[in-house]
Structure 1
Amino acid sequence: MSTTATSSTTNNTGVAAASWGKLSFRRSHQNATTTNNKNVKVRGQQTLKQLRRRSNLTIVNVATPSKKSSAEPPKEPKRSAVEIIKENSDFLRHPLIEQLATPETFISEDAAQLYKFHGGYQQDDREKRSFGEGKFYQFMMRTKQPAGLVSNKLYLTMDDLANTHGNGTLRLTTRQTYQLHGILKQDLKQTFRTVIQNMGSTLGACGDINRNVTAAPCPDKKNPSYEIAQTLALDIAELLAPQSGAYYDVWLDGEQVMTVEKPEITKARMDNSNGTNFEGSQEPIYGSLFLPRKFKIGVTVPGDNHIDFLSNDIGICVVNDAGGKHVGYNVYAGGGMGRSHRNNETFPRIASPIGYVDKDDIFYAVKAIVCTQRDYGRRDDRKQSRLKYLVHSWGVEKFTSVTEQYFGKKFQPIAPLPEFEFKSYLGWNDQGDGKLWYGVHVQNGRLRGELKKALRLVIERYELPVRLTAQQDLLLCDVDPKWKDDIHQTLKNAGLKDLDDIEPNDQLSMACPALPLCGLAITEAERGLPDINKRLREVMETVGLTKSDDIMIRMTGCPNGCARPYMAELGFVGDGPNSYQIWLGGTRNLTGIARAYEDKVKVDDLETFFEPIFAYWKQNRNSGEEFGQFVNRVSFEEMKAFSGSYVPGQLVSAERLPRVMVERAALDKLIKYAEENNTTLTAAATKAIMDL
């Protein structure tokens, strides 16, 4: 590990701006370093020990280019452009404030980067461009809804804004929030102001910051663990919320909104006993640079993995003792979905178990992990800046050890938990307090048309609160049983199907918005998946599978994985126009990562591609074996061999495939050839025979 570091500079707030090197130290953080060299030279003859005494010193980790020789002067470490924008923004204020006041229909790139932290993206509707007039700019706004909890007042506000300032639709995201699409720049400030004044927020919904904290949204009052998880999601969102006031400067022209915070949250945020904080800063946890990249946290309860909690930077599960009393939490770290095609240094990853903490320590444990990522996460290469890459490169043991120095104590061993399962919450359910809740399926999260109107009608009529799910669905809560028939019939008249009439694959599916708005989209997702699901069901029926044979299918228009396709039994990841990379082998309980099965599968070829795969599952699965379980039991090599021999409409079992016996010496040569050429035995044997 290199010990090169550079000294800090001070910005106009009096707080240290970034000094960049491969080591990370903070004043009063007495044990944060992982090196044994206590006298490393830093600019002249000062030692790190001396530098650490300086009240304004902060050295933040980035990858520093190695010097070619000790005689050469140290080079300035590489920093991504976004790091410079953040550093010069006065805690996310400028140039966004100035850009919002210009007459143009867009904002500058620097301002657009800051706009993300405030809760949205600048977008270009590719399908509304006029010839010769350039991009058709509009804006997306995303709310912050910890645990997906939405008051009646905020639901009605968002429904109104969709009509008056958006494109007439409401989007429910895979992280339990709203997205409002189609906002014009001239309407931005009024849109944000309206949300803020109606019990909502968008602060930190995007950007290099803690994003929306998800939690199992089930309103079941009989299981107190759900309320514990939801409350913790709200509390962590408060703990890690930006503190500088820039949000109100930008959107409310400095008008402050008074909020009441739990004393224990304030205490945990301001605690600097382990050197976690920027003392005297407007942002005691984040400093002027915030985090290296986006940061996601999810909280769940034993046995319920509705939220894919292991796909988060931090995953948390409530732990109860043998008598059912809440005692603490299991903590996991290093999950994340994003990757890039043809870049093997990027990959999806599930979070690793870090340890158990007592319930009174959870704020400090979360803060310690965030600060470890803040100080050691890479800031030179945004493709390598997520926490998962830090955990992967260090290993769980080292990561845990460094985090414990920020935490001030050891993590305890992970507490045993029951097996997890996916719960959808759809249909009518007993809330446990004399009331009901109704899980409304919203295909790919897009609320529009008659269903949107009908939902507005019943939510307003009965003053219902709402919960957004991580499956892009919606829960109507606190329903008096005497209202049930009216609500059910009103929604049914608007086209909502009864649960038994919804295609099973559709119930389990998710898709990101993709085209035409997302600037990263390569191909369709939200608009394409419904038809693809229909075609896949027809193929499944062709090979003899029934309606009860369902598959968890997820689709994204690019490899960033917003709909978490890498956790699904069958994932479609856009890799070209009308083309997808196919991932197989995620499990229904969402505790493992799928694997890339095939690249560049064209939409027009889906029937031909999937028929042998589904036929192989139909003919060779164990009793009750789900698709993901089956794929993980057999090998990709076997599946591809079967597909290569498959005759459409004629099931061919693996047992009936022709076999050829070879001498041991020939087999050994074949194995060696396959290893040297990074190929399979089947491919190696096929090549040898075809070359005869």
Structure 2
Amino acid sequence: MTTTTPFGAANTAVLGEPKAQIARYQGLRSANSLGLTRSRHAPISSASSSLIRAVATPAKPETVTETKRSKVEIFKEQSNYIRYPLNEEILTDAPNINEAATQLIKFHGSYQQYNRDERGGRSYSFMLRTKNPCGKVSNQLYLTMDDLADQFGIGTLRLTTRQTFQLHGVLKKDLKTVMSSIINSMGSTLGACGDLNRNVLAPPAPIQRKDYLFAQQTAENIAALLTPQSGFYYDVWVDGEKFLTAEPPEVTKARNDNSHGTNFTDSPEPIYGTQFLPRKFKIAVTVPTDNSVDILTNDIGVVVVTNDEGEPQGFNLYVGGGMGRTHRLETTFPRLAEPLGYVPKEDILYAIKAIVVTQRENGRRDDRKYSRMKYLISSWGIEKFRSVVEQYYGKKFEQFRELPEWEFKSHLGWNKQGDGSYYCGLHVDNGRIGGVMKKALREVIEKYNLSIRLTPNQNIILCDIRTAWKRPITTILAKAGLLHPRFVDPLNLTAMACPAFPLCPLAITEAERGIPDILKRVRAVFEKVGLKYNESVVIRVTGCPNGCARPYMAELGLVGDGPNSYQIWLGGTPNQTSIARSFMNKVKVQDLEKVLEPLFYYWRRKRQSKESFGGYTNRVGFEKLQELVDKWEGPEVAPARYNLKLFADKKTYEAVDELAKLQDKTAHQLAMEVVRNFVGSQQNGKSE
């Protein structure tokens, strides 16, 4: 017996039949698309009473009803594989593109934006995002991006939380020039946005160790496997010119394999079809203990498993992570990924493909708020999800291997690569490279022909540095304020913010522009309540609830909740393994101290040995914390005194204090800043 499913409702079994032919989601056909058909036979348990649905199934098998689809699904259907009408819209004289093209250009790695600070009209521009698996950036590509920022952007480069560049402010008339320049420098923006696999994360450190190298190679192979194949990107931006890149044969083999009904036959997009995925899809690969990639926030988390000799044997797989949500809509939520199982190393590409196809076939396409894979898994449960994935994988997953505790690793500072060279990880506040910092980085990267790695924490790593180069490189960087991490405020080292205003159309309030002042105020609160300088909490700020800076993993997350106000989230942990919870709504930015002072004060007073701020808030509970905030009248004020460790006499203290007040700082803050900058400028590269 054959059943027919509407759009998105795949894998529907007819009860009572021991074996049923399953008509799977085939992708919508446009006038310009190929007819895509495939089916296979699969055993269906007659005892099973559950139907696997993504959106809806007909009331009767004989009845075919039209399933509701989002507008974006229609745009994809009619686009001839993400070409039309974008290919026409970019040629018009208008400064912007139409609604359909605005959605399609995301697949090409770009968003249309306008300056929300301006009044009296919209000044349109485009943000371009590169795709750099593992955060790897060649010397040539970095220099190209640096040039493009000055020639066609706003003079800055933005490092993202997914190990990529963002280039803001590109005008429509310059899009083809900028895109072709990136492509000709062996870079790409293809798939950096849109309903497909985004940039694949991996630990950025160029450590010459088997597990790290294997994780990075696996990330690159997964990225290649899930790269669109139909050529739309090159047709639009370089007039169809082909850029050949060597692809490992195992990637080609895995993509073409259709032994378990995963592919669209005779299609230019064998994995994606005409409709691609229901929403964005994120994957990260790492090694045990190294949680530099926020592994549990991804749709798929891949962890290398080695034997006692350090030889990679296979992978643990997590599934179902994701950050985005909608304020005051409890059916949307951030979610941690959970264990799926273990696969041998030779099967990883087939397992990844099976998971992606399960989401492609069953993820919701009617309401984009619920289209991420986390909602599918939340609805089905992990056992049902695993069972469906195994049909496409063709095997049972092995038992998840035991892993050690996760640690957040920043990979900052001077470190040995293991091949005789060094790498230098540099902290970049909010990932924004501009001004003297941008000039210094270019000087070093160009002069020493260095390759680059971008980190998932919006920082940058300079690779392959010879011992003799350490001193001159350190001197150049220090003069531009790029200091060894020991001279950077610990609060800044782990803080992140999304760009938000003025260009992000989704922003509700400030994030990147607001976080410098917020961090200074948090430091002042630390001093007021008696917390030491080397103590810190993970702070992340976003301008809206979509969670681009992963605020729901922070110990203190500030999520835009209205003009100049934030929703406060508490309970993440320093190693990024616990999800935070919403503590307070609509806290005005000027009132943050009223909430933070009692929280930090009682953390210092009541914490257990080595207990993090996130651990403390989880242990005490939100009801008690709210009581502490409501009853707060301030800490006991100690008599004013100057710091004898920094100031030799009261006159010097008073002079520094007067200068500090002009910068809205304490005398101690200003003095420490001066000392750190001086010491940093004197660093000779000998310290690691």
Aligned with 2:568 (options 582, 596, 603): 582
Is 1:114–2:104 an aligned residue pair? Answer: yes
What SS does the aligned partner of 2:246 have? coil
Report 1:300-339 matches (<5 A): 300-339=286-325
Match of 2:174 in 1: 187
Match of 1:30 in 2: 41
Is 1:152–2:139 an aligned residue pair? Answer: yes
Structure 1, 444-453 or 253-262: larger mean CA deviation: 253-262
Distance 2:484 2:319 in 1: 39
Distance 1:198 1:255 in 2: 14
Amino acid corresponding to residue 321 of structure 2 in structure 1? G
Amino acid corresponding to residue 30 of structure 1 in structure 2? H
1:498 offset after TM fit, Å? 3.3
Structure 1 stretches of 4+ with a deviation exceeding 6 A read: 32-38, 70-73
Amino acid corresponding to residue 427 of structure 2 in structure 1? H
Match of 1:659 in 2: none
Distance 2:624 2:636 in 1: 18
Aligned with 1:80 (options 70, 82, 85): 70
Report 1:600-619 matches (<5 A): 600-619=586-605
Structure 1, 494-503 or 473-482: larger mean CA deviation: 494-503
Report 1:119-268 matches (<5 A): 119-129=109-119, 131=120, 134-221=121-208, 223-268=209-254
Which whole-Å deviations, capped at 9, do the CAs of 1:416-449 have from their partners, x for residues lacking one?
1111100111111111111111111100000000
1:12 offset after TM fit, Å? 3.8
Report 1:526-545 matches (<5 A): 526-545=512-531
Which whole-Å deviations, capped at 9, do the CAs of 1:353-381 have from their partners, x for residues lacking one?
00000000000000000000000000000
CA contact under 8 A between 1:34 and 1:402: conserved in structure 2? no
Match of 2:442 in 1: 456
1:255 offset after TM fit, Å? 1.1
Match of 1:56 in 2: none
Distance 2:334 2:64 in 1: 35
Structure 1, 192-201 or 626-635: larger mean CA deviation: 626-635
What SS does the aligned partner of 1:31 have? strand
Quickly say closer, same or farther: Cα 1:6–1:418, change in 2 above 3 A. closer
Distance 2:346 2:483 in 1: 45
Is 1:467–2:453 an aligned residue pair? Answer: yes
Quickly say closer, same or farther: Cα 1:604–1:417, change in 2 above 3 A. same
Structure 1: segments with no counterpart, 5+ residues = 18-25, 41-59, 652-692
Which whole-Å deviations, capped at 9, do the CAs of 1:446-484 have from their partners, x for residues lacking one?
000000000000000000000000000000010011111
Report 1:459-538 matches (<5 A): 459-538=445-524
TM-score (norm 2): 0.87
CA contact under 8 A between 1:61 and 1:375: conserved in structure 2? no
What SS does the aligned partner of 1:287 have? coil
1:410 offset after TM fit, Å? 0.6
1:259 offset after TM fit, Å? 1.6
What SS does the aligned partner of 1:571 have? strand
State the Cα RMSD in Å: 2.0
1:62 offset after TM fit, Å? 4.7
Match of 2:654 in 1: none
CA contact under 8 A between 2:113 and 2:127: conserved in structure 1? yes
Distance 2:29 2:541 in 1: 46
Distance 1:274 1:510 in 2: 42
1:36 offset after TM fit, Å? 6.8
Quickly say closer, same or farther: Cα 1:315–1:294, change in 2 above 3 A. same
Distance 1:325 1:143 in 2: 32
Distance 1:596 1:372 in 2: 31
Is 1:392–2:378 an aligned residue pair? Answer: yes
1:15 offset after TM fit, Å? 3.5
Quickly say closer, same or farther: Cα 1:32–1:62, change in 2 above 3 A. farther
1:301 offset after TM fit, Å? 0.5
Match of 1:289 in 2: 275
Aligned with 2:537 (options 521, 531, 551): 551
Amino acid corresponding to residue 478 of structure 2 in structure 1? K
What SS does the aligned partner of 2:462 have? strand
CA contact under 8 A between 1:333 and 1:353: conserved in structure 2? yes
Which whole-Å deviations, capped at 9, do the CAs of 1:134-187 have from their partners, x for residues lacking one?
211000000000000011111101000000111100000000000000000000
Quickly say closer, same or farther: Cα 1:471–1:341, change in 2 above 3 A. same
Distance 1:14 1:558 in 2: 37
Distance 1:74 1:195 in 2: 46
1:258 offset after TM fit, Å? 1.4
Which whole-Å deviations, capped at 9, do the CAs of 1:71-124 have from their partners, x for residues lacking one?
997542100000000011000010000001000000001001010000010001
Report 1:61-100 matches (<5 A): 62-64=54-56, 75-100=65-90
CA contact under 8 A between 1:616 and 1:639: conserved in structure 2? no
Match of 2:419 in 1: 433
Quickly say closer, same or farther: Cα 1:462–1:643, change in 2 above 3 A. same
Match of 2:664 in 1: none
Distance 1:287 1:585 in 2: 41
Structure 2: segments with no counterpart, 5+ residues = 8-25, 638-688
Quickly say closer, same or farther: Cα 1:649–1:135, change in 2 above 3 A. same
Structure 1, 140-149 or 615-624: larger mean CA deviation: 615-624
Which whole-Å deviations, capped at 9, do the CAs of 1:254-292 have from their partners, x for residues lacking one?
111112211110000010000000000010000000000
Distance 1:73 1:358 in 2: 43
Match of 1:634 in 2: 620
1:241 offset after TM fit, Å? 0.2
TM-score (norm 1): 0.86
Distance 1:472 1:519 in 2: 21
What SS does the aligned partner of 1:230 have? helix
Question: Aligned residues: percent identity?
Answer: 57
1:323 offset after TM fit, Å? 2.5
Which whole-Å deviations, capped at 9, do the CAs of 1:573-609 have from their partners, x for residues lacking one?
0010010000000111111111111101110001111
Quickly say closer, same or farther: Cα 1:66–1:283, change in 2 above 3 A. closer
Q: How many residues align?
A: 615
What SS does the aligned partner of 1:404 have? helix
What SS does the aligned partner of 1:398 have? helix
CA contact under 8 A between 1:464 and 1:477: conserved in structure 2? yes
What SS does the aligned partner of 2:40 have? coil
Is 1:401–2:387 an aligned residue pair? Answer: yes
Distance 1:471 1:567 in 2: 13
Amino acid corresponding to residue 202 of structure 2 in structure 1? A
Distance 1:441 1:599 in 2: 31
Match of 1:567 in 2: 553
Match of 2:16 in 1: none
Distance 1:35 1:77 in 2: 27
CA contact under 8 A between 1:217 and 1:226: conserved in structure 2? no
CA contact under 8 A between 1:15 and 1:278: conserved in structure 2? no
Which whole-Å deviations, capped at 9, do the CAs of 1:204-258 have from their partners, x for residues lacking one?
000000000000111122x321111111111111000000011111001111111
What SS does the aligned partner of 1:138 have? strand
1:322 offset after TM fit, Å? 2.3
